[in-house]
Structure 1
Amino acid sequence: MAAADVIRLLDVRDEPLSLDEVYASVVDPHAGGVGLFVGTVRDHDGGRGVDRLEYSAHPTVAARMREVAEAVTARFDVIALSAVHRVGSLGIGDIAVVVAVSAAHRGEAMGACHALIDDLKAGVPIWKHQVFGDGSDEWVGTP
């Protein structure tokens, strides 16, 4: 299957993300397994309390997301793949990213899902600004 047919949804949004939307985008009658990962804002990092996160993205984010998604579809035998990331200010418990992959078998779905989230975090220009409870802050994942 061509990458264009496999990649069902790629987006970066400044509004709350929907698990149902991402899951529905990869459901397919040929799929026996769906791997789903949901990244949420936790209340701590490195022993410090986190108040909120602020995500920002470089203008090339859409092109880089597509490159990463295409690379995952080339490495794994998947039926469908989707990824949506949030930007803007997020509070504790908010969903920051949702990725989903369907495949004929669970092992391939889970392996591709794991690769997709890891490769997105490593190669897509989305940066996290952490604001801590003590008033300090730090940027994560910046070049």
Structure 2
Amino acid sequence: MRLELSSEGRYAMRALVYLARFGERVNADTIAAEAKIPRRLLARILARLSHAGLVQSHAGRGGGSTLARPPEEITLRDAVEAAEGPFKVTRCIMKDRNCGEGRPCAMHDAWEEGQGAILEYLGSQTLDEFVSETAAGAFPLETS
């Protein structure tokens, strides 16, 4: 089994790390080019992140996007759920039905416990913990 983010989820994480790294308002064209995010998807991704309260968008001349909260207050769980939606098992493993419909199957509790452990871990990791490790190589600061 692979737990994997969708491409939009990966792009959302890149955008958040990019914004955390620079800490100031950045326009969408710059984010797209430097974080290597397709421009056609970036508006939708930023809208999702804004709706979740992770990014603020500023329209007009001099507009752009910034983090809505400090990076030490944004967890990986916040980011993943903003991009991908709620993290949960939706289909029963043993029966062809929605998970939790009717009597739980034999594996229900084990899956719920595993899901809880993943969510707890993602909730304990903040964006700022990854900025210095990953962003420096991925998004080097321009030096004049």
TM-score by length of 2: 0.23
Q: Which has the larger radius of gyration?
A: 2
Query: Which protein has greater RCO, CA pairs closer than 8 Å, 6+ apart?
Result: 1
Higher-strand-fraction structure: 1
TM-score by length of 1: 0.23
